[in-house]
Amino acid sequence: MADRALNKREVSYLIACIAISIAIIVFQLLTTLSVVAAFASIAIVLMTMYIPGKSYTYIFAGVASILIFIGFYYSRFLDKTIDPSKFSNLIYNRLSALGSVWITAYLIVKFKISRTEEQRSNQRMNALFLYASEGIIITDDQGKIVLVNPEAERQFGYTGSELVSKRIEILIPDRYGRKHVEHRKGYYDNPGARYMGRGMELYGVKKDGAEFPLQISLSSFSTEDGTFVVSFILDTTELIKQKELTKALEKEMELNELKSRFVAMASHEFRTPLSTILSSVALVEKYNEPSQQEDKIRHINRIRSTVKNLTNILNDFLSLDKLEDGLVRVNRSNFRLDKFCAEVVEEIRVVAKPGQQINYLYAAHTRDINMDQNLLRNILNNLLNNAIKYSPEKSLIDFTVSDSEKELIISVKDCGMGIPDEDKPFMFDRFFRAKNASNIQGTGLGLNIVKRYIDLMGGSIDFETEQNKGTTFTVKLPLVKE
In a domain, 432, yes or no: yes
Give the pLDDT of residue 17.
62
Domain boundary among 235, 261, 281: 235
Contacts of 340 (CB under 8 A, 6+ apart): 373, 376, 377
User: In terms of Cα–Cα distance, which of 64, 61, 62, 68 is closest to 95?
Assistant: 68
In a domain, 280, yes or no: yes
SS3 sequence of 164-197: CCCEHHHHCCHHHHHHHHHHHHHHHHCCCCEECC
Q: Are residues 471 and 339 in the same domain?
A: yes
Among 261, 293, 324, identify where a domain stops: 324
**Residue 1: what pLDDT?**
45
Give tens-digit pLDDT for 314-355.
Answer: 666 667 667 766 777 888 899 999 999 999 999 888 788 889
Percent with pLDDT over 70 in the chain: 73
Boundaries of domain holding 301: 240-324
- 202 shares a domain with 125: no
pLDDT band at 33 (very low <50, low <70, confident <90, very high): very low
> 15-19, 55-59, 477-481 — which is least confidently predicted?
15-19
Cα Rg of the chain (Å, integer): 46
Give pLDDT tens digits for 240-263: 888 888 888 887 787 677 666 666
CB-CB neighbours of 6 under 10 Å: 15
Q: Which CATH number belongs to the domain containing residue 269 in this structure? A: 1.10.287
What is the count of structural domains for the chain?
A: 4
pLDDT one-digit tens code per residue, 217-245: 888 888 888 889 888 988 888 888 888 88
Q: Is residue 3 part of a domain?
A: no
- Is the domain of 372 the same as that of 299? no
Residues 306 and 184 in one domain: no
Whether 476 has a pLDDT exceeding 90, the answer reads yes
Q: State the CATH number of the domain containing residue 201.
A: 3.30.450.20
Same domain, 344 and 464: yes
216 and 140 within one domain:
yes
Residue 394 inside a domain? The answer is yes
- Is there a single domain that holds both residue 52 and residue 69? yes
Q: Residue range 359-372: average pLDDT?
A: 91
For residues 171 and 348, what is the distance between their CA atoms, to the nearest angstrom? 63
Give the domain-ending residue among 273, 295, 324. Answer: 324
Examine the domain organization and report whether 393 and 298 are in the same domain. no
Range in 73-87, 391-405, 411-425 with the lowest mean pLDDT: 73-87
Q: Name the pTM for this structure.
A: 0.45
pLDDT tens-digit series, residues 68-119: 777 666 655 545 555 555 556 656 666 777 777 788 788 888 888 878 887 7
Q: 427 and 313, same structural domain?
A: no
